[in-house]
Amino acid sequence: MTDARPAPAEPRWLTGAEMTTWLNITQLLMVLPTALDRQLRDDAGLTHAHYRILAMLSAESDGSMRMTRLARKTGTTTTRLSHAVSALEERGWVERRACATDKRGQVAGLTDEGHAFLRTAAPGHVAEVRRLVFDHLTDEDVTRLGEITAKLLPVLTD
């Protein structure tokens, strides 16, 4: 007398410890980006997502990167990146170029103004990151947090 249809699986709910941690994580997901955006907006006039694009480009030896790769590196979609680069282009911080080896491709590159702007904005931002995050963590916390986040990223980035 068993039911042929698969029973609607009783979901495995979160344990107490998991729920506590999850509430902390989701709260952090809400407030940390907001805090980073606020500092950058007030002091430099852009969002954290846009700042990250500039920062990621400046880490490249030639200050430029293919759009799709840049999107993956910054954890965003090509759509979002396309809009963002348009905005950054209007500000004169980024330029689009055609890709030499792939005619579909576009390359986003930091302009001199972009480099200069980043040098101006970085110290204040780093100070805020310290104030909000690293000032409250021990070296071991930092290592552990690095390890734990490293475990989570693979599933989320494909």
Partner DNA sequence: GCCTTTATATTGAAACTTCAACAAAGACTC
Partner DNA sequence: GAGTCTTTGTTGAAGTTTCAATATAAAGGC
Contacting positions for DNA (CB under 7 A)? 33-34, 37-38, 41, 46-47, 49-50, 66-69, 76-87, 96, 99, 102-107
Provide φ and ψ at 95, rounded to 5°.
-130, 145
**Region near a copy of itself per CB under 8 A, out of 23-31, 81-89, 95-103, 105-113:** 23-31
Question: How far separated are the first and last CA of the chain, in Å rounded?
Answer: 42
State which of positions 54-113 bind a copy of itself (CB under 8 A).
74-77
CA–centroid distance for 70 within its chain: 11
CA neighbor of 74 nearest in space, from 58, 86, 61? 58
Residue recorded with tokens 């680069």? 85
**Alpha-carbon Rg for the chain in angstroms:** 21
- By CB under 8 A, residue 149 contacts a copy of itself: yes
Q: Which chain residues interact with a copy of itself by CB under 8 A?
A: 9, 11-14, 17-18, 20-22, 24-35, 48-49, 52, 74-77, 122-124, 126-127, 129-134, 136-137, 139, 141-146, 148-153, 155-157
